[in-house]
Amino acid sequence: MRDSLEIKSAQLAQIQDIGRYGMEHYGVSVNGAIDSYAYLAANYLLGNKKKQPVIEVTAFNFSMTSYVDVAVCLTGAEADVRIGDQLVGLWEPVLLKAGETLSIKKISKGLRVYVAIGAEMAVPFEYGSASFDTVAMLGQKLVTGQRIELHHVRDIKEVMESAPVLEDLPLYGTPWTIRICDGPDTNIFQEELKTFYESSYRVSPNSNHIGIRLDGPKLENYNPKEVLSRGISIGAIEITPTGQPIILHRGRSVTAGYPLIGTVASVDLSLVGQARPGDFIKFERISVQEATTLYKGKFEQFADLLHVR
């Protein structure tokens, strides 16, 4: 297995791509990289094709050794990233030579780092995606000692010479300002909206791909109201009977029954996915038109990578 990677240390790392689309009517969530901007940027900077899987490293240290010269690109949260003893930067392609070890330590100002490879990783695709799903147990969580074969290794010189430059890099770190649009139940929260938008919420340790749980001031005068279970979008913000919000993310169930006070604008969903336990989030209300314009401006450079069918 000459052209391969060996995972030397993986406490919390998994394979992710753009997501598992077309299965929600069976109750299977989209999942995929929770910071989709960082995921897309890593592949974009390497010139990879659409839906190329990457390694999503969450919170803890990670290392891998390559047995072939290959270009890699790391994006996402700030971290101490080294090849051997040499410190390397994020958001640009770098060369990982055969026999060298890439290590990620001290992840900060964000929670997740993405590692894209200038080759095709031989990982299992299920229902059109390699993304790891913690509920349906689809896809692959990485373990120490695992080998991943690499196919169609890209020419290093070609990757380096053709790499684009990203000008508008995201700013990670607490406090996070997250823009949201009105949700289907915003009208029943008229008395509570002032508290909601003026408050800061702390990210709970009980957060994951399914939902980011927030702790903060209970919405004044809020009494739980019954809402029929219905389909919900990624980014929907539920208000639980305790008066606390949950931001439903890419691993959310496809239906829910709590009232929805708003929906995170798609342009900021990636930032939500990088919020660390203990970080603070504050919400800003914008219109659907504003959200659409912001998303197109931020993601239009990734148009080719966003074709999921």
Question: pLDDT tens digits, residue range 55-104?
Answer: 999 999 999 999 999 999 999 999 999 999 999 999 999 999 999 999 99
- The model's pTM is 0.95
The three-class DSSP label of residue 267 is helix
Architecture of domain 176-306: Beta Barrel (2.40)
Q: How far is CA 26 from the centre of its chain?
A: 23
Lowest mean pLDDT among 5-19, 143-157, 168-182, 295-309: 295-309
Residue 130 CB partners (closer than 8 Å, separation 6+): 15, 16, 17, 53, 123, 124, 139, 140
Question: pLDDT tens digits, residue range 154-209?
Answer: 999 999 999 998 988 999 999 999 999 999 999 888 888 999 999 999 999 999 99
DSSP secondary structure string for all residues of 52-121: --EEEEESS-EEEEESS-EEEEEEEEEEEEEETTEE--SSSEEEE-TT-EEEEEEEEEEEEEEEEESSEE
Write down the pLDDT at residue 225. Answer: 65
Q: Would you state the structure tokens that stand for residue 162, as one six-digit string?
A: 């053709």
What is each CA distance from 290 to 34, 181, 293, in whole angstroms? 22, 9, 5
User: For residue 89, how many other CB atoms are within 10 A of its CB?
Assistant: 8
Task: Find residue 70's DSSP bridge partners.
Answer: 96
What is each CA distance from 89 to 67, 78, 121, in whole angstroms? 21, 10, 22
Domain ranges across the chain: 4-162, 176-306
Write down the pLDDT at residue 309. Answer: 43
Nearest-10 crossing angle of helices 36-46, 288-299: 30
User: Strand 4-10 and strand 86-87: pairing?
Assistant: unpaired
State what percent of residues in the chain have pLDDT above 90: 77
Question: Are residues 79 and 107 in contact, defined by beta-carbon separation less than 8 angstroms?
Answer: yes
